[in-house]
Amino acid sequence: MVSLHDFLKFCKEYLRSKGIDSPELSTEAIFAHVLGKTRLEVLLSRQDLSKDQILKIQRLIQRRGKGEPLAYLIGVKEFYGRDFIVNKDVLIPRPCTEILIDMCKSFYSKDNTLFFFDIGTGSGNIAITLTLEFPNFRGIGIDISGPALDIARLNAKRYEVNDRLSFVQTDLLSSIQANTADLIVTNPPYLSPKLLNGASPEVINFEPMNALFGGPCGTELAVNILLHSPYVLRPGGRFLMELDSSQFPEIIELIESQGCWKDIKLAKDYEGHDRIICVEKV
Ligand code: GLN
């Protein structure tokens, strides 16, 4: 018999020896996932593990040891205080994207009724969070990837927002009718080859490239979305987009040259870098 306590220690040491970030968190979360317990229950447990439990844990710990992101191994990632189902077909939601939700909260209240598009919805984390935080919002999440939309629909079902949120498989905004939206939000693929070079192997080797790579300059998809958005938005509508801080000068120049936007606002991420841009359609 192997005690949970001893195996937990062994697995933490194993991940530490492999140079994995936060080996404690990964190990405890994998144990919790396999055993159907919370992390606290895992830490307090004095039980022994069955052979089957050990095998299941061992398989996941080995994958984590090879750098596979924890979220893909346990199948969930928290975003804005809620768990979202994720798999290798979707980008893992990032804490910095929560700033986009906070920014929406600075403009809108729970009483506001509006219609939004989320471009490149992935797991649906942004669209679903907006629908839950604002009970009168309705929206459509669009993505080019069918498998990503399967995950978004699972998440929408889990949070029972199907009556106010739907998903459409299409590429960017070109097929969307004019003057239909009050709000467009997007965390587009925006990494350039240079930014990809600086990303960690966990990201490059495991997350979907079509959710990361924005083109040779990184900003190609962002520019495409920005060029179409004025047609889709009603006057007074807002556009919010996440980007890398290095990309804002080019994007602000484009916004200014379009002549149809006012009130450019930038919000910084937790590291103090510009991360979200918001503009209002004149
Ligand atoms: N909307 C999702 C997110 O913000 C996915 C974005 C993407 O795939 N680029 O996490």
pLDDT of residue 10: 97
pLDDT of residue 68: 97
Domains (range + CATH), the chain: 2-67 (1.10.8.10), 81-281 (3.40.50.150)
How would you label 87-116 residue by residue, b for 16+ Cβ within 10 Å and e otherwise?
A: bebbbbbeebbbbbbebbeeebeeeeebeb
- Token look-up 């992390």 returns 39
The CB of 211 under 6 Å from ligand 1? The reply is yes
pLDDT of residue 282: 96
For the whole model, what pTM was predicted? 0.95
pLDDT tens figures, 67-113: 999 999 999 999 999 999 999 999 999 999 999 999 999 999 999 99
pLDDT of residue 177: 80
pLDDT of residue 179: 83
Q: Which residues of the chain have pLDDT under 50?
A: none
Segments in 66-134 forming alpha helices (H)? 70-74, 98-107, 125-133
Distance 233 CA to ligand 1 centre (A): 21
Closest C-alpha to 238, from 89, 104, 120, 60: 104
List C-alpha distances in Å: 62 to 11, 30, 55, 66, 186.
Answer: 9, 11, 11, 7, 35
Distance 119 CA to ligand 1 centre (A): 8
The CB of 187 under 6 Å from ligand 1? The reply is yes
